[in-house]
Amino acid sequence: MKIPFTKMQGLGNDFVVLDAVTGSFVPNPAQVRFLADRHFGVGCDQLLVVEKPGSPEVDFRYRIFNADGGEVEQCGNGARCFARFVTDAGLTDKREIRVETRCGVIAPRLEADGQVTVDMGLPRFAPAEIPFVSDSDAVIQPLAAAGREWMISVVSMGNPHAVQVVGAVDSAPVAEDGPLIENHPRFPRRVNAGFMEIVDRHAIRLRVHERGAGETLACGTGACAAVVAGIRRGLLDTPVRVSTRGGELSIAWSGPDTPVLMTGPAVTVFQGEIELPEDLS
Ligand SMILES: N[C@H](CCC[C@H](N)C(=O)O)C(=O)O
């Protein structure tokens, strides 16, 4: 079966985008893994499926699958690429698009300069699915494993993030500690592990070991979670420039009960089609 796709990237976090509005194919986990494979498939960190809306209150639904085949709740860089995709494909003429995800409705807006701003909704600090409780509202919990101690802030942007402050991201133990945190039993649905270096009160550098994908060049929800954690810990003031290995995002958050706003680029790399092996199930 030949599958048309669009390859996109947001700060080097890359995506295979499938149009299930005019098409109808939604991949199973084995097919996601094949399409995401950088040697035998197209290659991507996540696969995005754009679908017709499930209700009249939204314009589209958008589903997100990690390279490991798992479907997840949210993707920040993917939301910007989604908005660019539906606009360039002529599926909408709106500048502000309401799209349903597994964790609720978000609203990407295309800016005049080609960047995309996304209202990422309200952050949560002690999501029920992560059994971290603390009497302080800043959910900071020492997490000991392999003899190392991490002080972690747990923040949900719909998807779970475990963020810590490091002295220098370039030498942070992302490869060693990222998988340990991702798969730690304290996170029953696993977690994205963020490592942030405070540059000043309006700037950080960030690396993220992503759940289901490994370290990516940028993580949009990870940038939102890091800024929320930094502001709650009294280390940052809104807005914050987030420098990732793939480029820069701007994140604004005015405090509890207000949404996180993320602004950054979204780029179409190429379009193509690929023959899907019949035996993937
Ligand atoms: N790996 C994430 C999903 C993709 C998030 C990231 N690519 C972003 O831009 O937010 C998770 O399992 O929750």
Measured between its terminal Cα atoms, the distance across the chain in Å is 14
Please identify which of the residues 44, 81, 219, 224 carries the catalytic annotation: 219
Write down the pTM of the prediction.
0.92
**Domains in the chain, CATH or no CATH each:** 2-115+266-275 (3.10.310.10), 127-263 (3.10.310.10)
Q: Which residues line ligand 1 (CB under 6 A)?
A: 13, 45-46, 66, 72, 75-78, 159, 192, 210-213, 216, 219-222
Is-contact 66 210, C-beta < 8 A?
Answer: yes
Who's near 171: CB < 8 A, 6+ residues apart? Answer: none
SS3 of residue 132 by DSSP? coil
| Secondary-structure breakdown of the chain: helix, strand, coil percentages, each rounded to the nearest 5 | 15, 40, 45
SS3 of residue 270 by DSSP? strand
Question: If you take atom 4 of ligand 1, which residue's CA is the nearest one?
Answer: 75
Over residues 21-46, the mean pLDDT reads 96
Least confident window among 150-164, 205-219, 236-250: 150-164
* Residue 149 confidence (pLDDT): 63
Please state, as a whole number, how many other Cβ atoms lie within 10 Å of the Cβ of residue 18.
Answer: 25
Q: Percent of the chain having pLDDT more than 70?
A: 91
Ligand 1 centroid–CA 16 distance in Å is 14
Ligand 1 centroid–CA 219 distance in Å is 6
The one-character DSSP state at 266 is -
Residue 157, pLDDT > 70, answer yes
Q: Chain-wide mean pLDDT for the chain?
A: 90
* Residue 280 confidence (pLDDT): 87
Residue 109 Cα to chain centre, angstroms: 17
* Residue 147 confidence (pLDDT): 57
Which pLDDT band holds residue 148 (cuts at 50, 70, 90)?
A: low
Residue 224 CA, closest ligand 1 atom number = 10
Over residues 66-87, the mean pLDDT reads 97
The residue ranking higher by pLDDT, 281 or 245, is 245
Residue 177, pLDDT > 90, answer no
Maximal C-alpha separation, the chain: 54
Alpha carbons 229 and 236: distance in angstroms, whole number: 9
Over residues 25-42, the mean pLDDT reads 97
- Which pLDDT tens digit goes with each residue over 265-275? 999 999 999 99
Please identify which of the residues 44, 75, 103, 224 carries the catalytic annotation: 75
* Residue 125 confidence (pLDDT): 73
Distances (CA, A) of 230 to 139, 179, 224: 12, 22, 10
Pocket test for ligand 1, best of 63, 65, 75, 267 (most atoms within 8 A of CB): 75
- Which pLDDT tens digit goes with each residue over 182-232? 987 778 899 999 999 999 999 999 999 999 999 999 999 999 999 999 998
* Residue 131 confidence (pLDDT): 36
Binding site, annotated residues: 13, 46, 66, 76-77, 159, 192, 210-211, 220-221
* Residue 52 confidence (pLDDT): 95
Is-contact 52 61, C-beta < 8 A?
Answer: yes
Ligand 1 centroid–CA 57 distance in Å is 25
Residue 11, pLDDT > 50, answer yes
The residue ranking higher by pLDDT, 56 or 142, is 56
Distances (CA, A) of 229 to 48, 155, 278: 27, 7, 45
Copy the structure tokens of residue 77: 């860089």
Alpha carbons 95 and 80: distance in angstroms, whole number: 12
* Residue 153 confidence (pLDDT): 87
Let me know if 219 is a catalytic residue: yes
* Residue 150 confidence (pLDDT): 65
Phi, psi dihedrals of residue 103, rounded to the nearest 5°: -115, 20
**Residue 19's beta-bridge partner residues?**
50
Over residues 247-257, the mean pLDDT reads 96
Residue 91, pLDDT > 50, answer yes
Over residues 13-25, the mean pLDDT reads 94
Taking the C-alpha atoms of 9, 10, 11 and 14 in order, what is their torsion angle to the nearest 10 degrees? -40
Least confident window among 78-87, 175-184, 207-216: 175-184
